[in-house]
Amino acid sequence: MIKANKVEKSVEILNDYFSKIDIVDKSITKKFFNDTIINAFKKNIEKKIESNQHKQNQYEFYDLFAGAGGLSLGLEENGFEPKIVIDNYKEANETYLFNRPNFDSANLISDDIRNVDMRLFTTLPLVVGGPPCQGFSNANKQRKENDERNKLYEFFVKTVKLVNPPIFLMENVVGILPYKNQIVSDFKKVGYTTNIYRLNTKTFGFPQNRERVFFLGIDEKFKLIHNELFNIFSEIKLDNSYSFSLSNAISDLPQLDAKTKRNSTYIESAEWGYTFGRIFKNNHSYTPIINDKNQFEFPLLNHKSKFNNERDIEIYSLLQEGEKSDSPRINHINPYKSRDGIFKDKFFKLSYKEVSKTITAHMYYDCHMYIHPTQARGLTPREAARIQGFPDDYLFLGSPNEWYRQIGNAVSPLIAKMIGAKLKMILDRIYFV
């Protein structure tokens, strides 16, 4: 009965979303949606629920500032189970819940962490999260030292103190490093020794140049084995057996044109792509890594292009792979050429042979810095999600622009999975040796 109710609720969400969509070329009909797409989701959701019933999760965790669930994904794949999840980002919360039919929606708190009743927290093995990073970002040239978002990590510290887990993990952008001494000191005051790790997805052979900082804290009551535990995590840098390029990540996806109709958020077609596309068979060298299968057949999700005007489409067409705003090919049409010292990367065409530049939430506004290598358009949300390492059956909810924001703000599930394996080893050492 519980399984039936969860499937029914998911189908209701899918139908509500599809009702907003206008497929102008009638290439996908309501009948196809009901007969093929809905049925594929039903089977997938039922399989997830059934699989969870036989799963023996050893460790529960709290995920603060969870977003769309990139960090949670990596932990879940290593036997962890989220107990309480907190974020005040409505669309990301919807995405998090939809993709976890086994998770009780009552345990996701959609609110500012500063408003949360701390009595909800009990002792668990792990607290993780990534406080909002805009105040720390190097991209924010006018950031203020007293930006209140810089202080949200203090609520992470407060939660760690209350929960008193053996370990915690906090993630953020590299721009947080000037504050590292203060952060380490704050955790020291509540009884934790903290090590800092800079990890880049490309170092591990994944198709993105994405560097992030991870603060791993261990309760000082385990100080006799601190070195051993930190060494377990440090060995993550040895786990780099892949060598994927951008081509490996996205070249198998269907070709699309840039959308040329303004104010057309929910207008879709075969030319511009779909929220719910036709069944797509993934059998690429990269897709088994993100889907954990050799072959994976499922409706192609969130693969639709963004609006561009004629000038931008021409610029996209003229640029060669790896070229940017200072290319002479676009000098006659570049609206930023008088300020190319500032906007030299305003336009950037990705190269199939290289890894992608860092996927960011800026794609919410435009994809000028994420031009497809061979098609005159920006990357789609599904392509961005592929690069980040989200599974192909992971549906992003909210408006298409919100999909970009959720994907860009997420911890790469690929890195999260590797981190999750190390955290499990650390907790196994604490609890079972």
CATH 3.30.70 fits 246-269+307-409, yes or no: no
Identify any residues that bridge with 193 across adjacent strands, giving them in sequence order.
Answer: 218
CATH of range 7-243+415-432; options 3.40.50.150, 3.40.50.2300, 3.90.550.40, 3.40.50.1820 = 3.40.50.150
Closest CA to 377 of 315, 328, 321: 315
Q: Decide if 272 contacts 259 (C-beta within 8 A).
A: yes
- The reply to whether 133 belongs to the active site is yes
Domain ranges of the chain: 7-243+415-432, 246-269+307-409
Q: Look up the pTM and report it.
A: 0.94
Read off the pLDDT of residues 413-424 as tens digits, 9 standing for 90 and up.
999 999 999 999
pLDDT in tens, 119-147: 889 999 999 999 875 555 555 444 455 55
DSSP 229-291: HHHHHHGGGG-------HHHHHTTSPP-PPB-SSS-TTEEBTTTEEEEEEEEEE-SSSHHHHH
Of these residues, 7, 64, 108, 133, which one is catalytic? 133
Integer-rounded Cα Rg, in Å, for the chain is 22
Residues β-bridged to residue 62: 84, 127
Angle at 323 between CA 318 and CA 327, to 5 degrees: 70
203-235 in b/e form (b: 16+ CB < 10 A) is bbbbbbebebbbbbbbbeebeeeeeebbebbee
Strand partners for 22? 267
With vertex at residue 361, the alpha carbon angle to CA 360 and CA 366, rounded to the nearest 5 degrees, is 95
pLDDT, tens only, 246-274? 999 999 999 999 999 999 999 999 999 99
pLDDT attached to residue 143 = 47
Q: Which residues pair with 307 in a beta bridge?
A: 259
Predicted confidence band at 283 (pLDDT cuts at 50, 70, 90)? low
